[in-house]
Structure 1
C-alpha cells in the first residue's frame, strides 16, 4: 500500500475491501483518507491527508503550515488548518478547520500540498486568539525564519477582516529574539502593564566578561525577568543555576523568577517586577 491513499480508490482498484479499510492493517487519517497502520500518526501526515481533499485554489495555513515547515505549533491530533477560496460551498471532514479568503495567494508547496503566503499564515495564527497567544506564536514563526515582522505589519494595513484588530495588536509586539512561548506571554503581560521589557539581553561584568543571557530584562533598572520551566532535577543543573544567579547579583542585577502559578494570576507577575524595580531604585539612590 502507498503511504497515504484515498479509501475509495483502493476499493475501486481491488487492492482493499471496505471491510479491510476498517481492519487493523490500516488507519483512517481523515474521513476518506487512509494510511498503513505502521505509518506514525503525526500532524504532518494529517496535513498531507487534507491535501488530497483540497479543492482547486485552496491551501494549508496557520499552525498547520508552520508545523510542516519546521515550527511545531500543532500537535498530532490538532485540527488541520486550511484556507479555502470564497464564495463556494466547500465541505471538509471532521478534524479540519476551514478559513475563508476571497483569494488564496499561494506561497510554498510542501509534499504536493499548496500553502498560503507567509503573511496569511501569520494572520490565521494570531487573529482569533488572545494577544499573548498570538504574540507567542508569531515570535516562533519569526524566530524560525517563516515570517518577516515588518513586512507582516505592512501587509495588515490593507486587510479589512473583522479579526484584523487582534492581528495588528499582536504584530506590533512580535520579536524573533524570544526563545519560548511562555517567555513571549510574560513579555506581553509586562508590556500591557507599561513595563518596558526587552528579550535576549546579554549581561556582562565591569571587565566585559559574559555573565548571562536573560529571557527578559528591564535594562534601565537592571531587573531580569526569567520564566521558570520544569524543575531542574539534576544536581549539576541546580548548581549551574545557582552560580548564574550569584553572578547576576554580583553584576548588580535583581532576578524575578516567574513560575507557572504566577502565570495563572497575571497581576502577580506585574507586581513582582514592579517591586524589584522599586528595590533597585532605592538601592541606586543609597549608593
Structure 2
C-alpha cells in the first residue's frame, strides 16, 4: 500500500514524523491534535477539504475513535468545521501580531475574528529576586507586582504573559487590571516614553507544556519587553511566550532620511495588550 504521506506536500508530511510517543503521559488524541494545529495554520487553500478520518487513522496508525476525539476538540475550538456529506474544512489561520507605532494586539486579534480570552494565573505583590530586580532596574527585595496570565484565541491557549511592575506605581490595582490591558491602565497615570522589545526562538519547557498544551521541545517564540516613562524609569518589564505554530510577528516602522521619526508617529495609539 502506498504511504499516504508520500502524496502530501513536504510541510504536511513532516508532522507525521517522528511517530507519536506511545509512552508519553500526553494521550494520543492530544498529540494528534497538536500536530494538526500546526497543519491547520499552514493550510493555504481554504476551499480544499481537510484530511478524512480514514487518512488520519492511516497517517498516525491509530483508531478512528482516537482521530475523532482530536478532530472533535478542534471543531469545538473553532479551528475546523465538519459538514455531513461535505467533509472537514479549515476555519482559522495563523494569528499575526504587527509591530508598529500604532500597534494594538487586542484589536488586531479581534479584527481577525479571534478576540483575546485572558486567564489570570498569578497576581501577587512580592519582593524582587535577582532576575526581576535586574529586569526592572530596582534593588533586590524591592516590592513589585507580578502578573502571570494566559491568552487564548478560539479557546486555544496561544501565549503566556509574565509582567513585573513597581508595586508603588500600581498600589491600587486589583485582579481586574491584569485581565484588561495593564499597559493601557499604566499609560493613564504616567507618561510613557519608550518601549524596547526582543524576539527569540526557543522550545517548550514545563510551563509551556502545562499552559499551552504543547509537547516538550515544541517551538515557541519569546518576546521580551521593557517600558520606560518620561524620566527614564522602567515602569514595566517582562516577556510573553507564544506558541510558534500559532503566532507570527510582522514589523512596520516609519522611515526618514535623517533617522528621526516623523512627529506624531508614536502616540497613545501604540497601546496594546501588554
TMscore range, shorter length: under 0.3
Higher relative contact order (CA 8 A, sep 6+): 2
Output the TM-score relative to the length of structure 2.
Answer: 0.26
Higher-strand-fraction structure: 2
Output the TM-score relative to the length of structure 1.
Answer: 0.25
